[in-house]
Amino acid sequence: MKKGILMILCVASLFACKGPEARVPISQKSGSYTDASIQRNKELIAEEEVIIKKIIAKDTAKTYIASESGFWYTYIIKDTVTSKKPIKGDLVSFTYDIKSLQGTTILSRDNIGNQVVKIDQSNQDLISGIRDGLKLLKEGETIRFLFPSHKAYGYYGLEDKIGSNVPIQSTVSLLKIKEDNQPE
């Protein structure tokens, strides 16, 4: 009798130890929304590039350079002697302004004041274009940047000052580079 009960318990435990079953989603969504969003963004970038390239074509006194990061820039003050540019971890002191592509001041240097940031620190309140642009500057240089909206304030804009998806220009002056390993 004990052998029979033991045998039944063993067989029952084999069937009771069933692994978890994968749940099947009730509905499956296609990537159509994502695909449409990607397409809209590509079209927006293309439109903004056309506008920026027209501005560059009109400014025949300056030579503009296309960056690998997706914006354009021209030197206002260029240092041809020094070769040191800031690298990851360096502290930089700089000033900048924000203007519309037509040149209307949105935020002046006086409003913003001197800024000190660490290069490639991700939690800063700087737009990605300026973060990338700082790495192109040497001490004492000034560069004018033309940023498409995705390198500026993007979809969210800036409070009441800049709307959604608005390209901008910014003039940045690098005042000082303090290397990461220098004492305070």
Contact 21, 112 (CB under 8 A): no
pLDDT in the model for residue 182: 57
From the list 143, 134, 137, 141, the residue with the least C-alpha distance to 116 is: 134
pLDDT in the model for residue 74: 98
If you ran DSSP here, which 8-state letter would residue 80 be given?
A: S
pLDDT in the model for residue 82: 84
pLDDT in the model for residue 171: 98
Positive/negative CA dihedral, 83, 114, 75, 90: positive
119: which residues sit within 8 A by CB, 6+ positions away? 86, 87, 88, 89, 90, 91, 92, 134, 135
Q: Where are the domains of the chain?
A: 64-178
pLDDT in the model for residue 180: 77
Q: Give pLDDT tens digits along the chain (184 positions).
A: 666 666 666 666 655 555 666 676 676 566 788 888 899 999 999 999 999 999 999 999 999 999 999 999 999 999 989 889 999 999 999 999 999 999 999 999 999 999 999 998 876 789 999 999 999 999 999 999 999 999 999 989 998 899 999 999 999 999 999 987 655 5
pLDDT in the model for residue 32: 80
Per CATH, domain 64-178 is 3.10.50.40: yes
